[in-house]
Amino acid sequence: MWSRAAVLGRETTLMVSPSALRRVQHHLEAHLVPHAVGEHDVQSLVDKEAQEQVQARARLMSTKSLQSNATFDTYMRYDEIQAYLKQLEADYPNLVQLQSIGKSYEGRDMTVIRVSLNGGQSPRAVLVDAGIHAREWIAPATAVYLINQLVEHTAAHRNLLDGMDWYILPLVNPDGYEYSQTKDRFWRKNRGAPRDSWLAWFWNMLCERGADVNRNFGFHWMEAGASTYPCAETFAGSKAFSEVESQNLRDFVLAQNADGRFKMYLTLHSYGPMILYPYGYDYRVTPAPDTQELKSIAEEANAAMVAAGSVPFTVENSAELYPAAGGSDDWAKGVGGIAKSYTIELHGGGRNGFDLPASQIWDSVTQTFEGLKVFGVRAKSL
């Protein structure tokens, strides 16, 4: 299931194998559910995307443009993003500081870049992360573009940095991201395995390992929209914060936000386009007291992106899309002490999907940046 719906009358998207197509259609017809085939051959889109990646990477390598530089002609790999961040720290030592907030399950650094005009002493800060779901490649690309603009074009965006620091984690789930780049384009989860060796062996016999990190946070964990079945895409882990990636992000937020400096949390996903605000663990929950302000800020950001050429983003409460407990956005607001928390579901590719072509990266990241600027400006007044 690529997209879900919590209310009657809203469209949802399924991907099925050719052998299952007729059975699914018969089932839908039997229940009088309107439906249509949106894309007959998803693999052809994946193959086309892979070809574009290879061609773009070859062009960039011939000009050495991928060596410690950001590119938006292709989706950067984990090592390339890391190299770019390290180069920025070397080139802009008074503006940039890197911090590994811990290792992923497979041992990759989860690197946060701090962009600050005064050594991290600003009274306010914004936290942005991306790539918690492996297949959502446009999210890390957008985070890298945000970094590029704040660091390499500081003069043009000084209003976003005066009196406010930015903490950006381009890849929450680096293991899953690399796995989706090399093995399974539509892989969603991390690459963690049950700590019990017998359980790890047992589940590996049935399916690929991994948990949905965005169902693993300890706020109303497992109450809705998550699974206890390890083979499910929304497997929430064996317990809240069972996954090292969610642990690392939790510990970082609690340590850095002890004084309440983090005024806003933005977590980048795809696909939408949507801007979602808490709480998302149950659509029956009493709305957050600041719901109208959350919605107003999001609508202002949407207007800025539309003015830059984007299609409109739907602005709504997360649970109106579908209830999902254990998400980082709910935890950030409910436990982490960050008042304004948003999930930004970025543009999809094809007939909507996770496979946004590399040729569309530039338009997506530049348009989204206009919305991120609005969030940044509004955070300064909180």
Instruction: Please identify every residue annotated as catalytic.
Output: 345
Q: And the tokens for 117?
A: 């005009």
> Which H helix or E strand runs over 174?
helix 174-182
Give 195's contacts (C-beta < 8 A, 6+ positions apart): 238
169 bridge partner residues: 129
* CA pair distance 289, 202, nearest whole angstrom: 45
Q: Side by side, which strands form the sheet with 109-115?
A: 96-103, 109-115, 164-169, 124-130, 262-270, 340-346, 274-277, 314-317
* CA pair distance 171, 138, nearest whole angstrom: 11
**Residue whose pair of structure tokens reads 């007729």 in the numeric block:** 22
How distant, in Å, are the alpha carbons of 8, 213, 378 from that of 278? 21, 17, 17
Max CA distance (Å), the chain: 65
Under 8 Å between Cβ of 373 and 126: no
